[in-house]
Amino acid sequence: MPTPNPTPPPLSQPPGSRRLTQLSKREEIIPTFSKSFGSFVVEVAKVILISLAIIIPVRYFLIQPFYVKGASMEPNFHDNEYLIIDELSYRLGSPHRGDVVVLHNPRRESEFFIKRVIGLPGETITISDGQVTITNTDHPDGFVLKESYLSKGLVTSGTLSTPLAANEYYVLGDNRPSSLDSRVFGPIDRRELIGRTWIRAWPPQRVRAFSGVTY
């Protein structure tokens, strides 16, 4: 009788093959350093792009920060105060009398002034005997502007009468003796106005938001 073939021995793995299989699986689960760093860079780039998409329109079309330099707006605004300027209001509407505005220096575009709007388009501004008189359609005989925000006893120097065109504004500093304003460089075109002073953000003890002035 033929002898039955014995049961073949179980196949054995070559030495080290189990370890290689485990390492292969491990490599699939844990990314290499280069891959993880690349993903990190991509995520950072996404955050930066999204931030810029939000910040740039706000910075250039809605609000801007400015520092006060000089004494032309004392006692209401002092040197080195940090202001937030609202640009949106003047994109949607017109400046009002009493607004404190930031504008381009009409003689040097790269410089900025902070002044107060005194005269509106179509009015005539007269300065005489230390007072400012406004003549317009509602007051054809003129009225003396009562400016409660000025220091007590302060007068507006000069003697002049200036009619304003349909797109012109007359601006003065609150510290009239130390202000370079429309008495010197004349009316301001609407295009030179950047925006109105919205918030004083520094120093902490003088933080406040500004609203319109009632005359």
Q: Which residues are catalytic?
A: 72, 115
How many residues are recorded in the chain? 215
Beta bridge partners of 156: none
- Exposure b/e, 35-49, CB count within 10 A at least 16 = b: eeeeeeeeeeeeeee
DSSP class per residue in 137-176: SS-TT-EE---TTSPTT------EEEE--TTEEEEE-SSG
Residue 157 CA to residue 160 CA, distance in Å, equals 10
Cβ(179)–Cβ(132) below 8 Å: no
Tokens 């390492």 — which residue? 23
